Amino acid sequence: MIEVLLGEVGRRINDRWLTRALGPGLLWCAVAAFAVLPGRKAVFDVHGAALAAADALDHLKDRVSLAVVVGSLVVAAAAAAAVCAQAAGRVARHVWLGSWPGPAGRVAVAVTARRRAAAVRRIAAQRRVVPAVYLPARPTWIGDRIRLADDRVAAQYGLRLGLIWPRLWLLLGADGRTDVMQARDRLDRAVTSAGWAVLHLALTPWWWPAALLGATLGAVSWWRARSAAGLFADIVEASVDLRHRNLVAELGFPVEEGRPVPPSTAAAVNDLLHKGASGHGHEARTGAESEPTS
């Protein structure tokens, strides 16, 4: 459900990759050039770096063809760095969402168990009763928060979010779609920032302050991702709260004014959207959790 929900909204976001990637890419190239600068005499030898840059510019002076080639190479290097940052960001996204494959899956199970036990102790101390489905089921808070969007909708309305969301999107007004896309866009920005943090950490062997820069950027990215994930899940749930009755009616099922959708109707809606496949719960959810094609 997590991947399909994020992917479904991501398809609707305009491609602004170049304008967003070029600036951070050029900044990373500048840091990388400073890190490997042969004439640097100290860790923060800004004066030496400035002299080296001035010498390079003097060398390119009155050599238009060479300047064009060098400029093109710098832009290409920035674009390549941006591609690497996006790839690293996708790995960070899977980590944040709790999708830990292979041997890391055993670690995920152990971390999830500890988070669940801690939540049970905290709830017991507060003398509260919480449905089991609301307890941690993933190793990360971000993964659980987005997962809960599906479970909360199912608990309240009996509808499977992975099934109704593509149809519900068609019923959202322009303002509603914009709110959802902006929240998803904030999450994408945090993911990309995490990728740049990894690239800055990669410069540590040549320039140790890059580790501080990368660690700081990674921490900020994680904090932004938590905030963005919470906002995204809240807006998705709000969209369902406001529009699910319209969707049920548009699909041809009776909806009584002022009364909730009956469980039998919700089950029929799930079955219809799942094209009659048996089992409204597990199978529908398994199909929704497949990796999107885009």
Tokens of 21: 């990637």
DSSP state of 9: H
In a domain, 114, yes or no: no
> Which of these ranges, 123-127, 134-138, 287-291, has the smallest mean pLDDT?
287-291
Query: Considering the chain, what percentage of its residues have pLDDT values greater than 70?
Result: 77
CB 142 within 8 A of CB 222: no
Does residue 64 lie within any of the structural domains? yes
Res 106 pLDDT > 80: yes
Residue 155 corresponds to which tokens in the numbers above? 């608990």
182-208: per-residue pLDDT in tens? 999 999 899 999 999 999 999 999 888
In a domain? residue 129? no
Band of pLDDT at residue 133, cut at 50, 70 and 90: confident
pTM: 0.76
Is position 202 within any domain? yes
Please give, one letter per residue, the 3-state secondary structure of 207-262.
CCHHHHHHHHHHHHHHHHHHHHHHHHHHHHHHHHHHHHHHHHHHCCCCCCCCCCCC
Domain assignment present for residue 117? The answer is no
pLDDT of 38 > 80? The answer is no
- For 275, the 3-state DSSP assignment is coil
- Whole-angstrom distance, CA of residue 158 vs CA of residue 160: 7
Residues across the chain:
294
Give the pLDDT of residue 168: 92
DSSP 206: T
Distance (Å, whole) CA 285 – CA 289: 6
Residues 6+ apart with CB under 8 A from 293: none
> So what's the pLDDT on residue 243?
92
Categorize the per-residue pLDDT at 54 as very low, low, confident or very high, splitting at 50, 70 and 90: low
Specify whether the CB–CB gap between 89 and 191 falls below 8 A.
Answer: yes
Task: Say which range, 21-35, 166-180, 238-252, has the weakest mean pLDDT.
Answer: 21-35
Q: Tokens 């890059």 — which residue? A: 210
How many other CB atoms are found less than 10 A from the CB of residue 250? 14
**How far is 94 from 191, CA to CA, in rounded Å?**
10
Report if residue 251 sits inside a domain: yes
Which domain, by its residues, includes 222? 2-98+140-288
Question: Which residue has 């800004």 as its token pair?
Answer: 46
Task: Write out pLDDT tens, residues 255-294.
Answer: 888 888 999 999 999 999 888 664 544 433 333 333 333 3
- 119 falls within a domain: no
Lowest mean pLDDT among 65-74, 149-158, 247-256: 65-74
Q: Indicate the average pLDDT of the chain.
A: 82
Q: Is 279 left (phi over 0), alpha (psi -120 to 50) or beta?
A: left
How many domains are there within the chain? Answer: 1
Residue 70 clears pLDDT 60, i.e. is over it: yes
Contact 268, 251 (CB under 8 A): no
Cα(187)–Cα(184) distance, integer angstroms: 5
What pLDDT is stored for residue 288 in this prediction? Answer: 33
Identify the DSSP state of 133. G
**What is residue 21's predicted lDDT score, i.e. its pLDDT?**
74
For residues 4-33, average pLDDT: 67
**Rounded-to-integer distance, Cα 207 and Cα 37, Å:** 10
Helix (H, G, I), strand (E, B) or coil at 194: helix
Position 213 in a domain: yes
